[in-house]
Structure formats: structure tokens, C-alpha cells
Amino acid sequence: MEAKKCEELLHLIEKNSRYTPKDLAAMLGLDVQDVEDEIKRLEREGVICGYHALIDWDKTDDEKISALVELKVTPQRGEGFDKIAEKIYRYPEVESLFLMSGGYDFTVILKKATMKEIANFVSSRLAVIEEVQSTATHVVLVRYKDHGIQFAEAKKDFRMLVTP
């Protein structure tokens, strides 16, 4: 498959992983078998790493929260940030880990948990890593948009219009 069609295929799958190979073939103007083969190749090569559902947890009874933790670290000589990252991403509580530019070195996104669980994880697991200089924990209050999907509905203004 040509590179441009492959990129289009990846964008479509990233936007909606429930498209069938038949749907994708129709959208791309390709043969279904070619699309199936390309998806298998991309999975085998690790380009497609997984398929996920995006859940609006606010519409459920789930009371857990999401948190982002910024870390300042001292990189190890000869190892850089990779060894520190490995220590962090091995924890099952870590949903995502990013090396960042700016004021902090890493951003850690934690799995949904209670406030107590998040506080305990940050204080007893992250903050005690030898290379960690400081942490800053941020709790997600409202998720307006995630992975290109808008969650918050526009609020209707029910105020009465007053004119002079």
C-alpha cells in the first residue's frame, strides 16, 4: 500500500477503531483484502499498538478521578531519562508517561483512582524515586475534550433578554 493511503488508513483507525475493513476499503477506494493485509502488517510491526474505547465516566456512577503529575528529575549519567522513565512506567497505576520540555521533565497520567490512592501513589512511589527532585499533582476537574471527542455539551443560556 502506498504511504499516503497507509497514513489515511491510520488516521481513520485512530479516529474510530470500530470501522470494519470493508468500511475502510470503501472510504479509501481500496480492496478489502489489501486493507486487511495492511492492518495485519501494521499490527505486526507495532505501528498499531492497540484499540481503545473512550468512555465518558461522568455519565456513570464511577467516583474516581484522573490526575496528572509533573516530575522534575535529575537524569543519570550515561543513562539520560530512559532509566528513570522505566522505573515510572512499570507501575500499573501509570496510564501514560511523557518526557516533556519546559519546567518539568516528565508528565505522568495516572489511572482513575480515589484522591487517597493518588496521594499515596505520589508520596510513596513517585516522590521517593532517587532521581525525582519534585512533583506537582493536578486533578482533572472537567474533561471538555479528549482524543478529539467533545464531552461537555454547550450550556443553553436561559437568561431573559432585557433591552432598554
Which tens digits make up the pLDDT trace of 97-124?
999 999 999 999 999 999 999 999 999 9
- Over pLDDT 90: what percentage of the chain? 74
| pLDDT, position 159 | 76
Structure confidence at residue 154 as a pLDDT band (50, 70, 90): low
d(CA 66, CA 111): 6
Cα–Cα distances in angstroms (integers) from residue 116 to residues 43, 49, 89, 124, in the given order:
38, 32, 20, 12
Between helices 32-44 and 21-28, what is the axis angle to 10°? 110
CA distance 138 to 143: 13
Q: Would you give the distance in Å from CA 128 to the centre of its chain?
A: 25
Beta strands in 32-163 (DSSP E): 65-73, 94-99, 106-113, 132-139, 145-146, 149-150
Residue 133: what residue type?
Answer: Q
Of 75, 71, 85, 89, give the one whose Cα is nearest residue 136: 71
Calpha distance 97→79 (Å, rounded): 17
Which pLDDT band holds residue 151 (cuts at 50, 70, 90)?
Answer: confident
Kindly report the number of other CB atoms within 10 A of residue 71's CB atom. Answer: 23
pLDDT band at 127 (very low <50, low <70, confident <90, very high): very high
Give the percent of the chain with pLDDT over 70. Answer: 98
Indicate the burial class of 34 (C-beta count within 10 angstroms; 0-12, 13-18, 19 or more).
middle
